[in-house]
Amino acid sequence: MLSSFLRIPLAFVGAEKIQKTKKPQIFLNIYNPLVPAFKVIFRKRAACFLIELDDLFSNSKAFCSGIIFFILKNQECYSKKEQRKIFVSQVIDFKVPYHYISFAIDDYS
C-alpha cells in the first residue's frame, strides 16, 4: 500500500491481538477487545476495496508515500490481443490445489 491515508484501515484488515508492545497499556486495553469486531467488519471485501482505493490515491503525488517506478519493455514483448482486466478479488481468491508428493521406487528405475 502506497497511500498514507489507508495505512490505519489496512492495519485493521489483518488485525490480531497484540501481546507485547512499546505502546502504552491503555492502547492494548482498547485495541485487543476490538479485534474480533475488526475481523467481522474488515473482511475480504474490505481488503479489496482498500486496495482499489490505494490504486486511485497512488496516482496522485499528494497522497502517495512510496516510490513508483515502471519497467519499460521492448514493444515486441507486448501481446497483440487485448488482455482482460484482472480484479483484486481474483488475485485474493486465487488458489492452487493441494498436491500430495509421493515417491515410488519404480519412478527412478
On whether the CB atoms of residues 54 and 3 are closer than 8 A, the answer is yes
With contact defined as beta carbons under 8 Å apart, do 54 and 6 qualify?
A: yes
Q: Answer yes or no: are the C-beta atoms of 59 and 33 closer than 8 Å.
A: no
- CA distance linking residue 15 with residue 84, whole number of Å: 33
**pLDDT grade for 62, boundaries at 50, 70 and 90:** low
Average pLDDT, the chain: 77
pLDDT tens for 7-56 read: 777 777 777 777 777 878 887 888 888 888 887 887 888 888 888 888 78
Instruction: Show the cell assigned to 30.
Output: 482498547
Instruction: Quickly state the pLDDT bin for 104 (edges 50, 70, 90).
Output: low
Is the pLDDT at 68 greater than 60, yes or no? yes
% the chain with pLDDT above 70:
83
Q: 7 CB contacts (<8 Å, ≥6 apart)?
A: 1
101: amino acid identity, one letter: I
Q: Rounded to 5 degrees, what are φ and ψ at 100?
A: -95, 130
